[in-house]
């Protein structure tokens, strides 16, 4: 069956190149990895030697939106560089973005500050499940979750996602990169040991799955029935692709009577991880009562420059976000055509959110640790699927938020390694 990905490779490349600039208007040659390495100090540019192409950590190569750059400069010029106690204008900004993007009505008093989404999750779990207990999460998942959970007293129960369905094979144009195993979730919730907390990643990293309202309603119903606290990490939601629908969990949880909070930030959508500002949003008044008991230091540890950056992102940099999502979609089509042409043994069910591609390298004949071989011999750094929990072995996570030239170069290098093996 014909699907949208069956386009000519050269077409895909010229579409990804577009007008020759990134979403901020920077010419692609300025995103040459050698140049970025000279200017940036983040993990992406410092973890590996200069000959390694870094397509691992979830940072974008695109320049920060000019609207955000100006907001940070204005704050510094005004010496507005002190402490925070309240979300202030950020509550309005996130509420209006959530309303306009997804029809989710957030009450300003339900919005609480935290340094970053990782901290927001830790603090929320501390308040809602002070004694710890058993925490379930769908895997493979963002490896940072396992690190975050080390700070808490939970026994972790991994519940693998159901596999994805490739575009065309189920008669749909886009397929699905995976779904929640609701039968297994129900079994775990209802088991003798039970489950105390559930860590939902919606949209799910690394697959890029925005879960459907049907799945989320069932999860909320089960959580309410078995008194499971759900923290929904929605950091990737602003990057939902144009053909897909993102459904926030909070309104569904509130309706079902499930105890839940949402953690989010502009940090992923607008590439502001270093600006250290996020929010925890209560799904309802009952959840908010507990969030009001967060230690005041949680808000104070949030960066005021990050707050200005988040406000500018949600209010003023929406067109930049639109251009970024379009660029990611074009880069994803390019990746698909490159894999089809040069690495047909790689399996990839495209996700519909964000810029991370979850690819199955098991068919490449590169042994049990293909990502290590790709790093050592092809000099391309990907995230190793075995760090993502059950179901991740032999997979890799590849970051597509780069210049199309970088993506072509990375796939060329891996294809050369694979053909040298034959």
Ligand X SMILES: Cc1ncc(COP(=O)(O)O)c(C=O)c1O
The CA-based angle 318-214-359, given to 5 degrees, is: 65
Q: Which of 273, 336, 366, 381 binds ligand X (CB under 6 A)?
A: 273
- 3-state secondary structure at position 191: coil
Q: Does 125 bind ligand X (CB under 6 A)?
A: no
Kindly state the smallest distance separating residue 12's Cβ from ligand X, in Å.
26
Q: What is the C-alpha to C-alpha distance for residues 274 and 283, in angstroms, rounded to an integer?
A: 27
Q: Which of 142, 249, 355, 388 binds ligand X (CB under 6 A)?
A: 142
Instruction: Considering only residues 236 through 265, tell me which ones interact with ligand X, judged by CB under 6 A.
Output: 265
Q: Which is nearer to ligand X, 56 or 229 (CB)?
A: 56
Q: Which residues contact 46 (CB under 8 A, 6 or more apart)?
A: none
Residue 189: C-alpha distances to residues 20, 154, 186, 266 (Å): 51, 15, 5, 32
CB 18 within 8 A of CB 394: no
Q: Which of 64, 166, 201, 317 binds ligand X (CB under 6 A)?
A: 201
Q: Does 313 bind ligand X (CB under 6 A)?
A: no
Kindly state the smallest distance separating residue 420's Cβ from ligand X, in Å.
33
Q: Does 280 bind ligand X (CB under 6 A)?
A: no
Q: Does 118 bind ligand X (CB under 6 A)?
A: yes
Q: Residue 303: CA atoms inside 13 Å, Cβ hemisphere, count?
A: 19
Tokens 């750094």 correspond to: 381
Q: Which of 18, 66, 88, 144 binds ligand X (CB under 6 A)?
A: 144
Kindly state the smallest distance separating residue 173's Cβ from ligand X, in Å.
26
Q: Does 122 bind ligand X (CB under 6 A)?
A: no
Q: At 247, list the tokens.
A: 């459904």
Kindly state the smallest distance separating residue 202's Cβ from ligand X, in Å.
9
Number of residues that bind ligand X (CB under 6 A): 15
Q: Are strands 111-114 and 278-282 parallel, antiparallel or unpaired?
A: antiparallel
Kindly state the smallest distance separating residue 240's Cβ from ligand X, in Å.
14
Q: Which is nearer to ligand X, 7 or 42 (CB)?
A: 42
Query: What are the b/e assignments for 277-299, b being 16+ CB within 10 Å?
Result: bbbbbbbbeebbeebeebeeebb
Q: Which residues contact 11 (CB under 8 A, 6 or more apart)?
A: none
Q: Which is nearer to ligand X, 144 or 160 (CB)?
A: 144
Q: Which of 235, 266, 311, 375 binds ligand X (CB under 6 A)?
A: 235
Q: Name the residues that contact ligand X, by CB under 6 A.
A: 58, 116-118, 142, 144, 201, 205, 233, 235, 265, 267-268, 273, 278
């Amino acid at each position: 069956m014909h699907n949208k990905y069956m386009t000519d490779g050269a077409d895909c490349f010229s579409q990804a190149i577009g007008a020759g600039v990134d979403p901020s208007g920077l010419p692609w040659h300025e995103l040459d990895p050698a140049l970025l390495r000279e200017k940036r100090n983040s993990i992406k540019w410092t973890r590996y030697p200069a000959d390694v192409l870094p397509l691992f950590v979830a940072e974008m190569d695109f320049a920060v939106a000019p609207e955000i750059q100006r907001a940070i400069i204005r704050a510094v010029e005004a010496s507005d560089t002190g402490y925070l106690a309240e979300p202030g204008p950020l509550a309005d900004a996130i509420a209006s973005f959530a309303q306009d993007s997804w029809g989710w009505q957030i009450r300003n008093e339900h919005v609480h500050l935290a340094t970053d989404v990782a901290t927001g999750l830790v603090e929320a779990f501390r308040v809602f499940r002070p004694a710890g207990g058993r925490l379930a999460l769908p895997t493979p998942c963002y490896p940072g979750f396992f690190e975050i959970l080390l700070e808490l007293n939970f026994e972790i129960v991994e519940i693998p996602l159901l596999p994805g369905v490739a575009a065309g094979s189920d008669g749909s144009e886009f397929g699905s990169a995976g779904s929640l195993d609701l039968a297994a979730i129900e079994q775990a919730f209802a088991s003798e040991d039970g489950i105390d907390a559930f860590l939902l990643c919606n949209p799910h990293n690394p697959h890029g799955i925005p879960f459907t309202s049907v799945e989320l309603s069932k999860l909320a119903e089960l959580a309410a029935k078995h008194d499971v606290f759900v923290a929904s990490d929605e950091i990737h939601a602003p990057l939902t692709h144009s053909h897909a629908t993102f459904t926030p969990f909070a309104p569904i949880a509130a309706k079902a009577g499930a105890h839940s909070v949402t953690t989010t930030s502009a940090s992923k959508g607008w590439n502001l991880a270093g600006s250290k500002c996020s929010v925890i949003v209560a799904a309802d008044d009952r959840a908010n009562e507990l969030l009001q008991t967060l230690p005041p230091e949680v808000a104070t540890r949030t960066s005021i420059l990050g707050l200005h950056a988040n406000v500018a992102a949600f209010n003023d940099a929406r067109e930049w976000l639109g251009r970024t999502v379009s660029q990611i979609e074009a880069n994803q089509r390019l990746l698909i055509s490159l894999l089809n042409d040069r690495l047909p043994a790689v399996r990839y069910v495209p996700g519909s959110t964000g810029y991370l591609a979850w690819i199955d390298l098991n068919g490449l004949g590169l042994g049990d640790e293909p990502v290590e071989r790709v790093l050592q011999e092809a000099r391309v750094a990907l995230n190793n699927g075995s760090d993502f929990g059950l179901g991740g072995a032999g997979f890799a996570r590849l970051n597509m938020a780069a210049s199309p030239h970088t993506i072509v170069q990375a796939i060329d290098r891996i294809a050369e390694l694979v053909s040298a093996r034959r």
